[in-house]
Amino acid sequence: MNTSPHQKPVSASKWRALAPLHHRDYRLLLGAVGLSLFGTGMWTIVMVFQVLSIDNSPTALSMVAACLSGGLFAFALVGGVTADRFSKRTIIITVQATNLAAVAMVTLLAFSGGIQLWHMALASAMLGAGSAFFYPAYSAFLPIILPTEELLAANGLEGALRPTMQQGIGPASGGMIVGAFLPMHGALIVAAVYAIALSLVVFIRPDPRRPKEIDRAAAPQSIFADLREGISFTAKTRWLLWTLIFACLMTLIIMGPIEVLIPFIARDNFGNGEQVFGFVLTAFGMGGAVGSLVVSSLRMPRRYLSVMVLGWGAGTIPLAFLGITTSFWVMAAALFIVGFSSGAGMVIWGTLLQQRVPVNMIGRVASLDFFISIALMPLSIALVGPIAMVVPAAVIFAVAGTTPVLIAVLAVLAGTMRRDEMKHPLDATTENQDPIESISQEYK
């Protein structure tokens, strides 16, 4: 029998994707996440035009953007160790407060007329560092405030919110506000949004279940020892290691063509290339949102590892059409499918981290996943330009569309995923178990 205080029948919601919303603390957390994503989407527009109002040069904008990435990379691994050592709730509150402080600083300085470029660089670094701490803490916090059977739905809701708010509504709102007023007015609204998000997470209750087991500081050892422990666990867990290898290689293969070549294709084939590029990226984001919601409305697939990895690989096949088509609708449909497979797989992946990784290591594994997945993205973007000078775009997109399928098959075989997923089922047989108890039984 399940004795978890979070127990709720699966049938409590007619649509499984909405089941987590029955929990007060999750509603507060999801509201804060949605507002934060909206604010981050607005900030991407506000940051650009605030920097240009200070120094109208590409170099200045590149420097500030690099500070955002630098803060993220610098603390990506430390964020995971911190999430495993300390209270996840406290980390989330601290990140929200830091985000508010960074944007409030920019707002006050902009209205006073004393804003300088280094202020924007500092704010960007703070926001990047905050993201590095937030994601591992958030991933490790969900199994604490939700029952196991609702983790898939919760990851689906977050997966649908991210492209909708951060890539869609947020930037669109930021563009309208900055266009109608000034960048500092946009910064003021972002600060207000972050303030509301902070007020929501403050009201999340500390977990009443065995707090010494869940939120206590880790055993006294160095941060590097904790990090080595997380890396060792990842390297020894074959399905986890090969999933990360696959994700890293897929990022290297597809992100450069998507980010660099699609704008040129849109410009060369359409008179309104800029608008077309924006619309096809919107299709990509919509695909991710729909894929997340579809998967979160269903039960965990019995062959969850194979479905996730092979789905990711097969989902890139439509990229092969981008190099040979001149149809907007074909481009939009192709990127919608790529986004759908990406979003669907990410929902399963996030749930696996929360169910198949020991509870005291979720933060570190989540941060390693985050770090490894994006580590080769800059290299992919840097390489595809020179390659495109000597290799036709049609060939590049053909490789980007087909190679991930082969790597996915290799990952499934090398990671012995089919045997592993049958040995550790996560469908109906694992429902109605306390998340901490189920993990303890598996790894005891």
Q: How many domains does the chain have?
A: 2
Q: Kindly report the pTM of this predicted structure.
A: 0.76
Q: Of 150, 173, 206, at which residue does a domain stop?
A: 206
Residues 350 and 395 in one domain: yes
* 211-263: pLDDT as tens digits: 444 444 444 567 778 778 888 888 899 999 999 999 989 988 988 888 778 87
The CATH number assigned to the domain holding 159 equals 1.20.1250.20
Residues 273 and 159 in one domain: no
Residues 228 and 199 in one domain: no
Structure tokens at 308: 């996730």
CA dihedral 319, 321, 327, 331 (to 10 degrees): -10
What local confidence, expressed as pLDDT, does residue 206 receive? Answer: 81
CB atoms within 10 A of CB 212: 6
Q: Would you say residue 246 lies in a domain?
A: yes
Residues 184 and 95 in one domain: yes
Name the DSSP letter for residue 168.
I
Owning domain of residue 269? 223-443
Q: Would you say residue 21 lies in a domain?
A: yes
Confidence of residue 63 (pLDDT cuts 50, 70, 90): confident
Residues 63 and 179 in one domain: yes
Q: Of 176, 206, 236, at which residue does a domain stop?
A: 206
Q: Would you say residue 320 lies in a domain?
A: yes
Q: Would you say residue 7 lies in a domain?
A: no
**Which range among 207-221, 263-277, 321-335, 370-384 shows the weakest confidence by mean pLDDT?**
207-221
Q: Would you say residue 212 lies in a domain?
A: no
Residues 179 and 236 in one domain: no
Residues 129 and 227 in one domain: no
Residues 253 and 191 in one domain: no
| Single-letter amino acid code for the residue at 45 | I
Q: Of 179, 206, 233, at which residue does a domain stop?
A: 206
Residues 357 and 308 in one domain: yes
Sign of the alpha-carbon torsion through 40, 42, 48, 54: negative
Q: Would you say residue 68 lies in a domain?
A: yes
Confidence of residue 281 (pLDDT cuts 50, 70, 90): confident
Residues 172 and 242 in one domain: no
Residues 173 and 315 in one domain: no
- Alpha helix segments (H runs only) across 237-327: 238-256, 262-269, 273-296, 304-315
- Tell me the pLDDT of the chain averaged across its residues: 82
Q: Would you say residue 2 lies in a domain?
A: no
Q: Would you say residue 128 lies in a domain?
A: yes
With vertex at residue 132, the alpha carbon angle to CA 127 and CA 136, rounded to the nearest 5 degrees, is 135
Tokens 């920097």 — which residue? 51
* 93-134: pLDDT as tens digits: 999 999 999 999 999 999 998 889 899 999 989 998 998 899
Residues 388 and 268 in one domain: yes
Of residues 20 and 27, the one with the higher pLDDT is 27
Q: At what angle do helices 328-356 and 117-145 cross, to 10 degrees?
A: 60
